[in-house]
Structure 1
Amino acid sequence: MKHEDTVLAVVAGFVDTLGFVALFGLFTAHVTGNFVLIGAEAAGLGQGVLMKLLAFPAFIAGVALSSAVVRARGGKPPATAARPLYALQAVLLAGFLVAGLYAAPVRDAQAPAAILCGLLGAVAMGVQNAHARLVGRPGVPNTVMTGNVTQAVLDTLDALLSHPDAAARRIARERLMRTLGPLAGFGIGAIAGATTYVRLSFGALALPLALIVWLAFRSGAGAPATESRDAAR
């Protein structure tokens, strides 16, 4: 699906930033940041360590749930699992939204309602992280931008500094074009996540939820044709 990675990057940037702002620095879209924060809190420089510790198994649970969804489809092509995976993520994001509204205003990082809210967000983003690997969809990472930034810089240098191999320059330009969309999308999502949370609290999660529901319908529209082609081979 065209621009799918860019839309998913918007979702990741939005949800990750909203979780960070609303839940005492919790990263929902990737676990690396939480490891850093756990280290800081071990030195007494933060708060909400329990939530961040539990976010790791919650993220793993999201990956495991995604794998179970794909395995439950038996011999069907992995690509046809896109719609149920998006549906699963939408349910979890809806749970994140509802739990957040119930917990708001979140003033205690150790409050059970706040922890539940954060864990639902981590499970939802665990599903998104696992999605591309499970369905075998070509594209670029859409939840963590470090590798994308590195690749974009390398490709820019190859494209601008007259790489001696014309084919290599063309490949670098094409890859750069694929990478810039998710990079911009993540940044836009991050800004939107913070600014809309200030105005709408956890109700702001309705936007990424709507994007995931839209992707579910779009992926479902193309699944029957894909499945029938694979079955005919």
Structure 2
Amino acid sequence: MKSEDTILAAVAGFVDTLSFVALFGLFTAHVTGNFVLIGAGVAGFGRGVLLKLIVFPAFVGGVVVSSLLVRSLSERYERQGARLLHAVQAVFMFGYCLAGVWATPITQPESLAVTVAGIVGAFAMGVQNAHPKLIKRPGVPNTVMTGNVTQAILDMVDMLSADTAESVREAAHARFATMMPAIVAFAIGAIAGALGYRYTGFWALLAPACALAVLALTTGEHERAALPGRT
């Protein structure tokens, strides 16, 4: 599915921003951001240092479980890996939604309900971070946009420079066209996540959860249809 990375980028932007707003600056998909905030918290700036430390193993768990699930598939079913990971992430995203609703109203980062919500959310996004490493296919990173934005800027420079070779310009244009939908989708998802939480609280997570469920049902359909014996 050509739009898979675009949808996943929107999911990442949505969930990461909602988590940041709702859970005392917690990034569920952006581990580097949590390291920065942990450092700031240790120095006395901000809240929720313990929460950020606790959810890191959950993120690791999401990556590990994803790897084990994909490795467990027989050669006959290896094409189902992407659908399996989308399904697992969808289940945990629904769980994150319910855990967040249970934790509401959120007042203390050290409370059990808030910790559970953070753990489930981080696990879900650990699955998404592991996905492109485990399922080899053409695509772009869809959870963190720093590398995509950097490459897009470099490609723009190549496209706009008069002395750029035509082959380099064409390659830059192709990369730029591939990356921009994910970058834009992440930005839109981030805005939607913040607005969704403002108006509906953690129920807003039903949107990315449903999007992941749709991906679990539809990813790879065109590939299976093209297999010998399919009509």
**Which TM-score band applies after superposition, normalised by the shorter structure?**
over 0.9
Instruction: After superposition, give the CA deviation of every residue in 1:46-104 in whole Å (9 maximum; x if it has no partner).
Output: 11111100121111100011101101102246443011110000010011000000000
SS at match of 1:115: helix
> For residues 164 and 223 of structure 1, do their structure 2 counterparts lie closer, same or farther at Cα, with a shift above 3 Å needed?
closer
TM-score, length basis structure 2: 0.95
> Is the Cα contact below 8 Å between 2:155 and 2:173 reproduced in 1?
yes
CA–CA separation in structure 1 for the residues paired with 2:25 and 2:207:
21
What code does the residue aligned with 2:120 have? L
Contact 1:78 1:136 in 2 (8 A): no
Aligned to 1:108: 108
Q: Structure 1 residues 136 and 171 mapped into 2: Cα distance closer, same or farther (>3 Å)?
A: same
Does structure 2 conserve the Cα–Cα contact (< 8 Å) formed by 1:78 and 1:134?
no
**Corresponding residue number in structure 2 for 1:6:** 6
**d(CA) in 1 for partners of 2:63, 2:7:** 20
1:88-140: CA deviation from partner (whole Å, max 9, x where unpaired): 00010011000000000111100011001011110000000111111102111
Distance in 2, matches of 1:103 and 1:136, equals 37
RMSD: 1.4
Residue aligning to 1:185: 185
Aligned to 1:216: 216
Residue in 1 that maps onto 2:58: 58
Tell whether 2:203 aligns with 1:207. no
Q: Identity of counterpart residues, as a percentage?
A: 52
Q: What's 2:75 paired with? A: 75
SS in structure 2 at match of 1:92: helix
Q: Does 1:194 align with 2:194?
A: yes
Instruction: Decide which moves more: 135-144 or 70-79.
Output: 70-79
What's the counterpart of residue 165 of structure 2? 165
Runs of 4+ in 1 over 4 A off after TM superposition: none
Contact 1:79 1:136 in 2 (8 A): no
Report the CA distance shift for 1:78/1:156 in structure 2 as closer, same or farther (over 3 A): farther
Q: List gaps (5 residues or longer) in structure 2.
A: none
Deviations 1:1-48 (A, max 9, x none): 111111100000000000000000000012000000000000111111
> Which stretch has the larger CA shift, 174-183 or 210-219?
210-219
Residues 9 and 189 in structure 1, CA contact (< 8 A), matched pair in contact too = yes
Gaps of 5+ in 1: none
Counterpart for residue 143 of structure 2: 143
Q: 2 CA distance for matches of 1:154 and 1:22? A: 35
Rounded to whole Å, the distance in 2 between the matches of 1:77 and 1:134 is 14
Residue 36 of structure 1 corresponds to 36
Q: Is the 8 A contact 2:38 2:52 kept in 1?
A: yes
Judge conservation of contact 1:145–1:183 (CA < 8 Å) in 2. yes
Listed one character per residue, the Cα deviations across residues 147-195 of structure 1 (whole Å, up to 9, x for unaligned) are 0110000000001113432111101000000110000000000000000
CA distance in 2, matches of 1:79, 1:156: 35
Please, which moves more after superposition, 46-55 or 121-130? Answer: 46-55
Number of equivalences: 228
Asked if structure 1 preserves the Cα contact closer than 8 Å seen for 2:101 and 2:203, the reply is yes
**8 A Cα contact 2:40 2:46, kept in partner:** yes
Q: What TM-score results when the alignment is normalised by the length of structure 1?
A: 0.94
**Aligned residue number for residue 155 of structure 2:** 155
